[in-house]
A and B are shown apart, each in its own frame.
Chain A
Amino acid sequence: MSPQPTPPRAEGDPAIRPRHPSDPPQTPPEKAGEPLLRIRGLGVQFGGFHALTDVDFDAREGEVHFLIGPNGAGKTTLVDIITGLTKPTTGSVSFDGQQLVGHKEHRIVHFGVGRTFQAATVFEALTVGENLDLAASYRLGLRRLLRQPRGHADAVVEALEVTGLADEVDKSAGALAHGQKQWLEIGMLLAQGPRLLLLDEPVAGMSPDERTRTGELIRYLARGRTVLVVEHDMDFMRRFADRVTVLHEGRILRADATVAEVQADPTVQEVYIGRARDDRNSAGRSGAAAAGAPAASDDEEAA
């Protein structure tokens, strides 16, 4: 039994060099439907409270995946874990083969994961253009950050165009309307070019017109990217979701379904849709059967 000499390897061998965040994104191997985001056995406890229990979740490239569920279902907690804000007690989160659990928030952004918050957070003392420029510059080293910026990068111009904020480029972000702040925040994500975007209640507090525009923005984002949307608004979900996952009390109730499947699922109706409808029209309809039919017709109207 003589020890096998390990063959010397070239230093630049891409097979052994750890992947650098600034490397171009690896083209995913041609495995059809291989999920970009893969979550397995995720659990988190706060004190004695189980916020999430045994959650499995997949999201594929190019889809708009809605995460719905009643208040306290653990939707935002799931987003917090993916983006490194909360550490899970058990389980794994892998993104494009990269393990995310244990990395700091800003490292996870460099892997290609971006998020927004329930309350839109933009830098109010800076202008719209400066907000976007800062978002687009996150890969620059300190020496380049210390230079005075001249003109806007293409990513910033694209974000201005897509969000419809070009007229407001020199306005301070604090002076924007509520809906515009949400769009600016989404635009900042877009300028960073992430492969996975997590939007936490992007249409909360928006008018119907603003909701439609936000939905169109989300459909635009989904070209070549994965968008995960946490939302309460069922109508919005019906109009813009590709896939839907339902969370209830920290567990997956229905994973990776279509809108129609979710609407037809009696358990989902019971915990979520049915209950909401019962609250609204208590006119003697028995929950499950009544909720399914009008929901389906709503869907046809929207489409």
Chain B
Amino acid sequence: MSALLATVRRRVVGPREELPARIAFAIVAFLLIVVAPSMLSDFRLGLLAKYLVFAIVAVGIALAWGRGGMLVLGQGLFFGLGGYAMAMHLQLAEAPDGQPPAFMTLTGAEHVPGIWGPFESTAFTLAMVVLLPMLAATLLGLLVFRSRVRGPYFAILTQALAAAFVIFLVGQQQFSGGTNGLTVMTFFGLDLADPDDKRTLYLIVVAVLALVFLIGRQLVRSRYGRLLVAVRDAEDRVRFLGYDPTLVKVVAFAASAGMAGLAGALFVPVVGIISPASLGIVPSIEMVIWVAVGGRLSLAGAIAGAVLVNYAKTELSEQLPSAWLYGQGLLFVVVVAFAPRGIAGIGEWLRENRGRLRRGRDATPAAATTVEEGA
């Protein structure tokens, strides 16, 4: 008994199967950094950059929804906050010194409006891209989680806010560009029409995605990650362990908002434009679908889901433009009904069953623990 306890005490707890995960990470990094830029045309590489931007949003959703049980149906709001902050800065950088951006001169504006002013600063913009969404999510979360609003009520609330944000942007045309949105041509000295510069931008996106993934993985594997799962499954019990579930949820919600904001900021140079059409109710729901398809319990699955669903969308829309919406709806229904753990769940299922075959009768407990592990 005491010998067993001694081993329990000493043993490193936590990440099992660390090596295969590292190898997989290295292989994917190699494919994205070396293989993709040399194999894909400029056009396809641009599309891949966009998918990877979406994957950054997906990591945040997997964290808040998969781990934290908060169905975030309005990530377009945070995506938009980050995107517009970046677009405002880039437009000011493109405009002649002290002049308002081009779209404003059409309506006769002569000065840079007050709320645009601070975004002249690069440092301020880069900070706001992440902090503005995080701040908005923190305030919203404190308000909503404290009064114990959860489940579908929370989901509907986030969605309503995304819709309200779109209405606000369309209404404030003189500041926001209205439904046209904001267009950019350069990104911190990169010419967005130049293939080499676009390749550099692609590599920046890959680097940011890798960083976001590693941050997400650290969150999931830490004690905080377990606490988040505990709050998801038995929020009231967590209170009686001495933790405040409100704070636990706010941290995950704010992290997911920050990731969405970062993605929005990269979306602007990658696509060249941000407009209300990319962040309303429909895009916000699509973001959740990517994660459902990829597997919301797994960060890697969420990334795969974002890339594959968007790739399928591009391919299908090229062949059969009207079929995609039906295809996407069907995909969502099939995943929710038959594969709630998504693409990542298939991999886990294979791993579990391989383990069962190899280890025989004793495999059941080990298989049960691997279910929650896929980071």
Contact = CB atoms under 8 A, between A and B. Distances in A.
A157 interface: yes
Contacts of A92: none
Interface in B229-276: 229-230, 233-234, 236-237, 239-244, 247, 251
A146 B219 contact: yes
Given A157-B5, A160-B5, A166-B8, A146 B224 contact: yes
Interface stretch (B160-168, B184-192, B364-372): B364-372
Interface residues on B, range: 35 or more
Contacts of A127: 369
Contact of A137 (B223, B239, B251, B372): B223
B230 A123 contact: yes
Contacts of A175: 364-365, 368
Given A126-B230, A140-B223, A169-B8, A105 B14 contact: no
Contacts of A83: 240
Contacts of B222: 145-149
A106 B13 contact: no
A171 B9 contact: no
Given A121-B234, A138-B243, A170 B12 contact: no
Nearest to B251: A142
A83 B364 CA distance: 37
B242 A138 contact: yes
A152 interface: yes
A218 interface: no
A244 B123 CA distance: 67
A121 B11 contact: no
Interface residues on A, range: 35 or more
A151 B6 CA distance: 11
B1 interface: yes
B5 A161 contact: yes
A106 B218 contact: no
A139 interface: yes
B365 A172 contact: yes
Interface string A124-163: 1111011001110111101011111111101001001100
A124 B371 CA distance: 12
Given A172-B365, A172-B368, A145 B227 contact: yes
B226 interface: yes
B233 A125 contact: yes
B10 to A, nearest CB: 6
Nearest to B234: A121
Residue among B8, B12, B218, B240 with max Cβ neighbours from chain A (10 Å) = B240
Contacts of B5: 157, 160-161, 166
Contact of B233 (A115, A123, A146): A123
A110 to B, nearest CB: 5
B4 interface: yes
Given A140-B223, A151-B10, A167 B4 contact: yes
**Closest 5 A-B residue pairs measured CB to CB?**
A109-B242, A138-B242, A105-B239, A145-B224, A123-B230
Given A121-B234, A150-B14, A160-B5, 8 more contacts: A109-B241, A117-B237, A125-B233, A146-B219, A148-B218, A150-B12, A169-B8, A171-B369
Interface of A: 83, 104-106, 109-110, 114-115, 117, 121-127, 129-130, 133-135, 137-140, 142, 144-152, 154, 157, 160-161, 166-167, 169-172, 174-175, 188, 192
14 contacts: A117-B237, A138-B241, A145-B222, A146-B224, A148-B221, A148-B222, A149-B14, A150-B13, A152-B8, A154-B9, A161-B1, A161-B5, A170-B366, A175-B368
